[in-house]
């Protein structure tokens, strides 16, 4: 008898479960996707013990008939595909027909469902892949699935589950993702008896972001104008394609040390994609220090044929048919939005009393849960109980849905901004501020009408604006101006350079020498004139205008080092930008330099004219703003 035999369905399901069901969060993901595909408007998720003991997902979707409910547990049974062509244009979140049987094979599962228009519902119970019961029951419309004792029959997998908090954090972040992707649907996530997430349906993504992250985060986010870019049809048979992008990105002043706050959705599906992550980093290039990441919520919508989601069973990876086009589209759109918004960094203020619901941003949230802050739950501290005190550790407060803000769009007159009399009214000499003070204009576009007041420590320019007090770092401001100037000159191929009286001889490291050979032409374009001068020495004969000879040596060595680090594959454009940043940094006014009023004025005007006046090419902020509102608050006038 041969050794090779066909595996039983039960074993095949368990194997598939290994790929699909990794941890409680994967169960939630698969079931949540089913609910979405079923058109549910309200989804309620209950988990117990981080999902190890129980996961229950109840929706009000289309439900299933009795036969379907049974068939759904067969392998490769799905309503979402009918023939192979459908695979090329997947419109639903799920499509493999593996989730339910896989989950059922590693847990005790109970499904209750009633299809629209059917009078009775169905209950199916399965344990470890074996059907225990199937009966008619009364049930509300929709489907409810209870997954208990996950991995009860796979002890190896069970051993690898992390702590309750970790697993819960994964579940919570997953629900958060889907909540963000579908603002029109309601999500409720309960852990035991406490509510982690309560997202009633809202109309706009902006409101959903507020529900999830709170107002602080929203202030730092720039909403992308929905953008669309078409791709010319490659041949007559193809129809022209179009890609749409919307979402939020953070101001460059928000800098995260990991990518956990980047949420990418393609056709409503949350994915991790290196191509898109790179596009996003490229958009922030020269706005943010390397190894820092923004917060971003990007939604890309395109034709279903354009993206292949059938890459991995977990469906978190995708392949774009026109990858580089998508990359450039995302990069350009985000960069344009950043340039248009010119967000100003606010003064780092002591944290305000925490907003309920604010605590849920994914990464911090999960870290805190993991750190065990979750252990001390219900201390019923109202949101206003401790004003001024910094937010104490994370507090997973029960229900308390985030307060619905009355109006989102134009924050012209926020209710609390009306300068109404305060308790301790100041004497009459303190008259009220003139009406109509623009209090919430957080854009650097107002740089142009700043009125400089002077210099602090010969390093920072203090200026009064319509909307408050500004502090501008003179060095980085000038750096930004020069950076754009140098880029422009590079582009036009007319970089000014100043010859040196005596050539400056620089010793190179071997890798610098290799690098020099590679980028010599680019350096000349930027205004350097260098000649190899024997082995591993370089004679610098001319440097870009504005760079003092004192800085020339370190500048050249920095350029040769930088491009070495930046992996050799850095594009010519990146290389040029890096070089321009180095040149600008060396040529810019240093701190500790006294500036006269005319120079300050010139600097501000030039800065206002730059396209990105918010951060220097190395990513440091240029201007801080102390808003009139914050000043008023600090003086207890509002």
Partner 1 sequence: MEFTVSKTDLARELGLSQGVVEKKTTIPILSNVLVEAGDGQVQITATDLELGIRCSCPAKVTKRGSGTIPARRLLDYVRLLPDADLQVKMLDNQWASLVCGRSRTRIAGMSRESYPELPVMPDPMVNIPAGLLSSMIKRTGFAISSEESRFTLNGALLLLKADGIIMVSTDGHRLALTESKLDLPAIGAQFRALLPKKAMVELEKLDSEAAADSVVRFSGDENHLFFDFGQRLLLSRKLTGNFPDFDRVLPKDVPRSVELNRDELRGSLERVSQFADERSRSIRLHVGPGEVKIHSSISDTGESEESVPVDYDGPEMEIGFNAQYLLEFLRAVETGTVSLHFKDPNSAGELRPVGSSTIYRYVVMPMRI
Using CB under 8 A, list all residues that contact partner 1: 482, 485, 494, 496-502, 504, 527, 529, 542, 545-546, 548-553, 587, 602
Whose CA is closest to 278, among 522, 617, 567? 567
Contact yes or no for 41/185 (Cβ under 8 A)? yes
CB closer to partner 1 out of 553 and 574: 553
CB closer to partner 1 out of 386 and 491: 491
CB of 272 to partner 1, least distance (A): 44
CA–CA separation, 618 vs 304, rounded Å? Answer: 38
- The dihedral region occupied by 535, where left means phi > 0, alpha psi between -120 and 50, and beta the remainder, is beta
CB closer to partner 1 out of 262 and 584: 584
CB closer to partner 1 out of 423 and 501: 501
Contact yes or no for 570/561 (Cβ under 8 A)? no
CB closer to partner 1 out of 39 and 549: 549
CB closer to partner 1 out of 228 and 488: 488
CB closer to partner 1 out of 275 and 545: 545
CB of 609 to partner 1, least distance (A): 9
CA–CA separation, 203 vs 399, rounded Å? Answer: 22
Q: Which helix (H) or strand (E) holds 206?
A: helix 205-213
CB of 544 to partner 1, least distance (A): 8
CB of 243 to partner 1, least distance (A): 34
Q: C-alpha distances in angstroms, 111 versus 1, 16, 89, 123, 133? A: 41, 20, 29, 6, 10
CB of 496 to partner 1, least distance (A): 5
CB of 562 to partner 1, least distance (A): 21
Beta strands in 390-523 (DSSP E): 451-456, 460-465, 468-473, 497-507
Whose CA is closest to 467, among 628, 250, 257, 331? 628
Q: C-alpha distances in angstroms, 462 versus 459, 474, 597, 601, 637? A: 10, 10, 11, 11, 23
CB closer to partner 1 out of 45 and 543: 543
CB of 510 to partner 1, least distance (A): 22
Contact yes or no for 305/88 (Cβ under 8 A)? yes
The residues that bridge with 145 in the sheet, in sequence order, are 57, 111
CB closer to partner 1 out of 453 and 500: 500
Contact yes or no for 304/310 (Cβ under 8 A)? no
CA–CA separation, 455 vs 595, rounded Å? Answer: 8
CB of 585 to partner 1, least distance (A): 13
Whose CA is closest to 372, among 400, 396, 355? 396
Contact yes or no for 263/270 (Cβ under 8 A)? yes
CA–CA separation, 134 vs 343, rounded Å? Answer: 59
CA–CA separation, 236 vs 240, rounded Å? Answer: 9
Q: How many helices (H) and strands (E) does the chain have?
A: 17, 23
CB of 537 to partner 1, least distance (A): 14
CB closer to partner 1 out of 162 and 494: 494
CB of 350 to partner 1, least distance (A): 33
């Amino acid at each position: 008898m041969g050794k090779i035999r066909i595996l039983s369905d039960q074993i095949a399901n368990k194997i598939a479960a290994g790929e699909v069901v990794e941890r409680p969060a994967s169960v939630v993901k698969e079931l949540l996707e089913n609910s979405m595909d079923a058109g549910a408007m309200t989804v309620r998720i209950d988990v117990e013990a981080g999902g190890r003991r129980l996961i229950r997902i109840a929706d009000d979707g289309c439900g299933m008939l009795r036969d379907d409910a049974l068939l759904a547990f067969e392998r490769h049974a799905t309503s979402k595909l009918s023939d192979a062509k459908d695979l090329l244009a997947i419109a639903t979140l799920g499509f493999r027909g593996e989730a339910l049987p896989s989950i059922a094979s590693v847990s005790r599962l109970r499904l209750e469902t009633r299809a629209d228009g059917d009078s009775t519902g169905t209950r199916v119970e399965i344990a470890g892949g074996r059907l225990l019961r199937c009966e008619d029951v009364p049930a509300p419309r929709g489907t409810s699935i209870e997954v208990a004792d996950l991995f009860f029959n796979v002890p190896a997998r069970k051993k690898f589950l992390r702590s309750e908090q970790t697993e819960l954090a994964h579940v919570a972040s997953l629900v958060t993702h889907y909540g963000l992707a579908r603002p029109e649907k309601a999500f409720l996530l309960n852990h035991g008896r406490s509510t982690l997430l309560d997202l009633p349906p809202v109309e706009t993504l902006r409101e959903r972001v507020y529900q999830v992250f709170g107002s602080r985060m929203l202030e730092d986010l720039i909403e992308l104008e929905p953008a669309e870019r078409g791709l010319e049809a490659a041949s007559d048979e193809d129809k022209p394609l179009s890609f749409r992008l919307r979402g939020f990105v953070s101001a460059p002043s928000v800098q995260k040390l990991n990518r956990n706050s980047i949420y990418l959705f393609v056709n409503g599906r949350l994915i991790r994609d290196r191509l898109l992550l790179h596009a996003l980093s490229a958009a922030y290039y020269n706005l943010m220090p390397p190894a820092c990441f923004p917060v971003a919520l990007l939604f890309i919508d395109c034709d279903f044929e354009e993206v292949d989601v059938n890459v991995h069973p977990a469906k978190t990876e995708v392949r774009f048919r026109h990858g580089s086009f998508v990359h450039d589209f995302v990069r350009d759109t985000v960069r344009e939005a950043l340039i248009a918004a010119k967000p100003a960094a606010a003064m780092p203020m002591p944290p305000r009393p925490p907003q309920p619901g604010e605590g849920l941003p994914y990464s911090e949230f999960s870290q805190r849960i993991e750190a065990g802050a979750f252990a001390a739950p219900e201390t019923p501290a109202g949101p206003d109980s401790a004003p001024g005190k910094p937010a104490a550790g994370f507090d997973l407060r029960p229900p308390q849905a985030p307060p619905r803000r009355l109006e989102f769009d134009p924050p012209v007159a926020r209710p609390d901004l009306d300068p109404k009399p305060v308790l301790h009214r100041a004497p009459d000499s303190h008259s009220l501020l003139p009406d109509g003070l623009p209090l919430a204009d957080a854009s650097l576009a107002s740089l142009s009408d700043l009125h400089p007041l002077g210099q602090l420590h010969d390093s920072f320019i203090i200026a009064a604006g319509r909307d408050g007090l500004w502090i501008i770092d003179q060095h980085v401001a000038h750096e930004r101006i020069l950076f754009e100037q140098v880029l422009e000159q590079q582009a036009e191929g007319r970089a000014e350079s100043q010859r040196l009286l005596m050539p400056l001889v620089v010793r190179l490291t071997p890798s610098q020498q290799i690098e020099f050979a590679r980028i010599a032409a680019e350096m000349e374009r930027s205004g350097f004139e260098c000649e190899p001068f024997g082995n591993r020495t370089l004679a610098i004969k001319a440097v870009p205008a504005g760079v003092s000879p004192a800085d020339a040596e370190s500048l050249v060595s920095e350029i040769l080092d930088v491009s070495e680090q930046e992996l050799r594959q850095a594009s010519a454009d990146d290389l040029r930008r890096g070089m321009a940043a180095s040149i600008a940094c060396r040529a810019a006014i240093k701190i500790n330099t006294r500036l006269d009023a005319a120079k300050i004025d010139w600097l501000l005007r030039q800065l206002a004219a730059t396209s990105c006046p918010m951060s220097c090419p190395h990513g440091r902020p240029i201007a801080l703003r102390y808003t009139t509102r914050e000043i008023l608050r600090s003086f207890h006038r509002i």
